[in-house]
Amino acid sequence: MERKKASDFDQELLNLFDRYVHGIISRREFLEGARKFAVGGLSAAAILESLNPKYVEAQQIAKDDERLKTESLNYSSPEGYGTIRAYLVRPANARGKLPGIVVIHENRGLTPHIGDIARRLGIAGFLALAPDGLTPVGGYPGDDDAGRELQSRLDGNKMTEDFVAAAGYLKSHPECTGKVGAVGFCIGGGYANRLAVRIPDLAAAVAFYGPPPPAADVPRIKAPLLLHYAGLDDRVNAGWPAFEAALKANNVGYSVHFYPGANHGFNNDTTPRYDEGAAKLAWQRTLDFFNQTLR
């Protein structure tokens, strides 16, 4: 079956789905709103299913790819939730030490897609660590709805400390050069911005459609930022003017890109909101940025 694209859906429906997956409306409210788009025998529940991720079909780098070494591990996070489970990826044929990148997930834990992102960074020659912020509540449960509900229970400040501790773990890893960056997606993009605030020697941060930190925290940012925004993402983009003003006022180095016609989540190739052109361009810019700042 051919995979659905954003253009197969009404933009109003995609906006409704965005509100649902970010906890602004309930599943029941989404289904009620989706009924008007249920035509030709298609139910609202079937529409929801078609919008949900298809992790297996979209995987780019297999878990057992011989070019990589991967492992699951625990690291200590004394200021956060204590002990956090994470997925570590590095190239199998690496010679010498590698720069590290913390990969921060969306609002549902360490999904197969985020694991795939970590493997893509491994293929690109980085030591990538993807923490599961849901570790304190049992880890990613294998279901995105359940994952979102679990993540909503957690303290965002403690989760920030868990990701800060991930950067510390990478920095001291015997296979790391000591240069560490962060990349995050959706709320993970927000956490990448927070890491730039919290870690004075963070070497780089990349945020895909992530909420900005409080303006009062921006003066603490020393790392260069690469910021990706979806052109149709009015919800997140509303925070950009104030964020930009604070960055400029504090002489923080940043690059920003808006991708016209792209929806929030455009980099996630497991869902119809994926925009191939925007995603490939944003990913190449991300790799170029990390190669420039971390090597």
Q: In what order do the strands lie in the sheet with 254-259?
A: 68-77, 82-91, 127-131, 98-104, 176-185, 204-208, 225-230, 254-259
103: domain CATH number is 3.40.50.1820
Tell me the C-alpha distance between 77 and 84, whole Å: 7
Question: Would the pTM of this model clear 0.85, i.e. be above it?
Answer: yes
Taking 50 as the threshold, does the pLDDT of residue 1 lie above it? Answer: no
Tell me the C-alpha distance between 246 and 217, whole Å: 9
Q: Are residues 36 and 78 in the same domain?
A: no
Band (pLDDT 50/70/90 cuts) for residue 57 is confident
Nearest to 213 by CA among 173, 274, 254, 176: 254
Cβ count near 224 (within 10 Å): 19
pLDDT tens for 72-88 read 999 999 999 999 999 99
Band (pLDDT 50/70/90 cuts) for residue 2 is low
pLDDT tens for 81-117 read 999 999 999 999 998 999 999 999 999 999 999 999 9
Average pLDDT value for residue range 22-36? 91
Q: Are residues 173 and 202 in the same domain?
A: yes
pLDDT at residue number 4: 81
pLDDT tens for 136-172 read 999 999 999 999 999 999 999 999 999 999 999 999 9
Over the chain, what HEC string results? Answer: CCCCCHHHCCHHHHHHHHHHHCCCCCHHHHHHHHHHHCCCCCCHHHHHHHHCCCHHHHCCCCCCCCCEEEEEEEEEECCCCEEEEEEEEEECCCCCCEEEEEEECCCCCCCHHHHHHHHHHHHCCCEEEEECCCHHHCCCCCCHHHHHHHHHCCCHHHHHHHHHHHHHHHHCCCCEEEEEEEEEECHHHHHHHHHHHHCCCCCEEEEECCCCCCHHHHHHCCCCEEEEEECCCHHHHCCHHHHHHHHHHCCCCEEEEEECCCCCCCCCCCCCCCCHHHHHHHHHHHHHHHHHHHC
pLDDT tens for 266-294 read 999 999 999 999 999 999 999 999 999 99
Residue 101 falls within a domain, yes or no? yes
Q: Are residues 38 and 101 in the same domain?
A: no
Q: Are residues 42 and 172 in the same domain?
A: no
Cα 182 from chain centroid (whole Å): 10
Q: Are residues 207 and 278 in the same domain?
A: yes
Band (pLDDT 50/70/90 cuts) for residue 218 is very high
Do residues 115 and 136 lie in contact, with contact meaning Cβ atoms separated by under 8 Å? no
Q: Are residues 128 and 23 in the same domain?
A: no
Taking 90 as the threshold, does the pLDDT of residue 65 lie above it? Answer: yes
Q: Which domain holds residue 89?
A: 61-294
Residue 277 falls within a domain, yes or no? yes
Taking 90 as the threshold, does the pLDDT of residue 52 lie above it? Answer: no
pLDDT tens for 248-262 read 999 999 999 999 999
Domain count, the chain: 2
pLDDT at residue number 42: 81
Residue 1 falls within a domain, yes or no? no
Q: Are residues 23 and 70 in the same domain?
A: no
Q: Are residues 179 and 282 in the same domain?
A: yes
